[in-house]
Structure 1
Amino acid sequence: MSDYHPKAKTDHRICFVGDSFVQGTSDPLCLGWAGRITQDAVARGTNITHYNLGIRRDTSRDIAARWEQECAARLPTDCEQLVVFSFGVNDSSIFEGSLRVPEEESLANCERILRSAAARYKTLMVGPPPMPDAPHNRRVAQLDKQFADIAVGLNVPYLSVYEVLRKDEHWLKEAIANDFAHPGKFGYDRLADLVREWPGWWFK
């Protein structure tokens, strides 16, 4: 009897944690960018179990309160544990005349989330995308730069997508035609391409 045993593929478990853009709201394919890049990695032969933990309207405050328990339940120690964060648009939105999350708190939440995650898991962060509203956009751009600085300080790879998507022919056009926030198929295609082509992304 042969004692040969085929080498098992590495068991990758990945959690995408964030807001409606992570969830893929308004995508007619119900994949969002997270589903697209995972689908691509699986097609290339990677063994991945992925969990979309995006929740509509979630801020960094909401994510800070839930991410640890949600990821721990899905990332057993006998697999490769991966986490991708993306948030910020909801923090910078105005509700009843005030920012939903003050800028100082957003930065503190981001620092706490990334520091804790990077100590346990392989961790990446994708920055917040642009919005069709100019004042909101300026706040998103500011948070994006500050989040990037925090991530660099913690050695967490960070992908800023704001500038590229702000100039993309599909992203803002689809968002305006839809709900003035979320793109459709082509916008999510473009964001997925940015993540897939990013040197920081794990699965090539």
Structure 2
Amino acid sequence: MTSQPLKEIKICFLGESLVNGTGDPECLGWAGRICQDAFSKGFDITYYNLGVRRETSHELRKRWLQEVSYRLPQQYNGRLVFSFGANDTTIENGKTRVSLQDSITNLRDILTIAKDLYPVLVVSAPPIDDEGQNQRISDLSQEFASVCNQLNVPYLNVFPELIESDIWMEEVKKYDGAHPRAAGYQVFAEIVQNWQGWLNWFDG
């Protein structure tokens, strides 16, 4: 009896340091963990982590298409996962690095192109150890949800669950105020890998 061939899926994860997995001594982050989980279930995952530390949605909007096009030519079963926004909400020189309206516009511009080329998922930015910034991240996440709903792109807001996670919040606080360690990223990963939007990619 021969085993069934693995379903080949190539996935690019795009965003900032929290996509990159900064702080994880296992160098997996949440994105690596959900791909590891899918691989263990019989899927042949090619995993491209395109997270860039300190990047805002302005820079991401400029680079994503070229980087994805190199890795996911149209003949491949390519998919995209975007997760960004925390850096947009950081205060520098008395104002956020990117205004709320510009963040919304950047997401809309990215998704309008991306959804016509590949299956796309969007995951919100998680909370950090800063009450003021968390309110801005939460507000941005709600706006991003609205954009994704309008464009019919599946969206997962991880913020409410992670801000209630003792593991996530304690690791973020003890490490650098913005990033967790391995256990925190595992909590994040479990939320995503049990999300129907992600599971739909592997159904059947």
Q: 2:202 is matched by which residue type in structure 1?
A: F
3-state SS in 1 of match to 2:87: coil
1:60 equivalenced with 2:57 (yes/no): yes
Alignment identity in percent?
Answer: 44
Q: 1:200 is matched by which residue type in structure 2?
A: G
Deviation at 1:6, TM superposition (A): 8.9
3-state SS in 1 of match to 2:78: strand
Partner of 2:202: 203
**Equivalent of residue 25 in structure 2, options 14, 25, 28:** 28
Task: Determine if contact 1:174/1:187 at 8 Å carries over to the other structure.
Answer: yes
Q: 1:152 is matched by which residue type in structure 2?
A: N
3-state SS in 2 of match to 1:170: helix
Partner of 1:107: 104
Task: Determine if contact 2:10/2:45 at 8 Å carries over to the other structure.
Answer: yes
Q: Which runs of 4+ in 1 moved over 2 A?
A: 5-11
3-state SS in 1 of match to 2:143: helix
Partner of 2:79: 82
3-state SS in 2 of match to 1:200: helix
Q: Which has the higher helix share?
A: 2
Q: Using a 3 Å threshold, how does the CA distance of structure 1 residues 199 and 99 change in structure 2: closer, same or farther?
A: same
Deviation at 1:66, TM superposition (A): 0.4
Task: Determine if contact 1:87/1:128 at 8 Å carries over to the other structure.
Answer: yes
Q: Using a 3 Å threshold, how does the CA distance of structure 1 residues 173 and 73 change in structure 2: closer, same or farther?
A: same
Q: 1:27 is matched by which residue type in structure 2?
A: D
3-state SS in 1 of match to 2:13: strand
Task: Determine if contact 1:12/1:81 at 8 Å carries over to the other structure.
Answer: yes
TM-score by length of 2: 0.94
1:45-78 CA-partner distances (Å, limit 9, x unpaired): 1011110000101111111010000000000222
1:167-202 CA-partner distances (Å, limit 9, x unpaired): 001111111101111011111000000000001102
1:40 equivalenced with 2:37 (yes/no): yes
1:70 equivalenced with 2:67 (yes/no): yes
**Equivalent of residue 96 in structure 1, options 93, 106, 109:** 93
Task: Determine if contact 2:6/2:42 at 8 Å carries over to the other structure.
Answer: no
Taking the aligned partners of 2:78 and 2:144, their CA distance within structure 1 comes to 23
Matches within 5 A, 1:111-190: 111-190=108-187
Specify every segment of 5 or more residues in structure 2 that has no aligned partner in the other structure, as ranges: none
3-state SS in 1 of match to 2:89: coil
Task: Mark the structure with the bigger radius of gyration.
Answer: 1
Taking the aligned partners of 2:105 and 2:6, their CA distance within structure 1 comes to 38
**Equivalent of residue 10 in structure 2, options 7, 10, 13:** 13
3-state SS in 2 of match to 1:12: strand
Deviation at 1:128, TM superposition (A): 0.7
TM-score by length of 1: 0.94
**Aligned pairs, how many?**
200
Deviation at 1:7, TM superposition (A): 7.4
Task: Determine if contact 1:60/1:87 at 8 Å carries over to the other structure.
Answer: yes
